[in-house]
Structure 1
Amino acid sequence: MTTPTLLRPQYKPFDVDAWRRENDAPDPAIKLAPAHASANYSDLIYGLEAIADFVGLTVAQVKHQISISGWPTFKQGRTVCALRSALAEHFAEQTRLAMQNRKGG
């Protein structure tokens, strides 16, 4: 009897520019007014469940990643929150670093 081989999913690098275009996110190079000057809260992800839905992981996996990987999150009271743009930037930076390490520097 043979042992089944586990297939690893193939991940593609996160394309932060494509995400910005699809979500009408502002270019970070553009200086924006302070957050309190605008009532645009569409970038806010409120709660671990919502963050998990956004990144495609379970709540437990998100908690683990926040604790070990330094995901850019903050708390509103007891509720963990994040900004879509901050997570996208974090993932893009992690992808860029991983690609550099693969190429040898």
Structure 2
Amino acid sequence: MRESSAETRLNLLSRQSVDGLHRHLPGAVRQLREAGAPVDWAQLLVDLARWRRYGGEIKRRWLQDFYRERYRSGVRAALEVDDAEGVGADVGK
């Protein structure tokens, strides 16, 4: 899944009421599964059950998790490029 589409979809979900969330969630989950991203079904069920009362906290956690993973993926990609180019191979010599 392209980052921009994932981010757009997540931001759309985070602005939804319970009814809107149930309307938009199937497409988001389908997009995640097609991209090979794991879905924590148990946590999703808990989040849906608690959405009315704790929606703000849940939205914040979803967004934090998304950006944290995006940052980690960027760091991993940069390290792979560095390894492929031999950057840092002479460090300490």
Give the TM-score normalised by structure 1. Answer: 0.34
TM-score (norm 2): 0.36
When you count helix as a share of all residues, which structure comes out higher?
Answer: 2
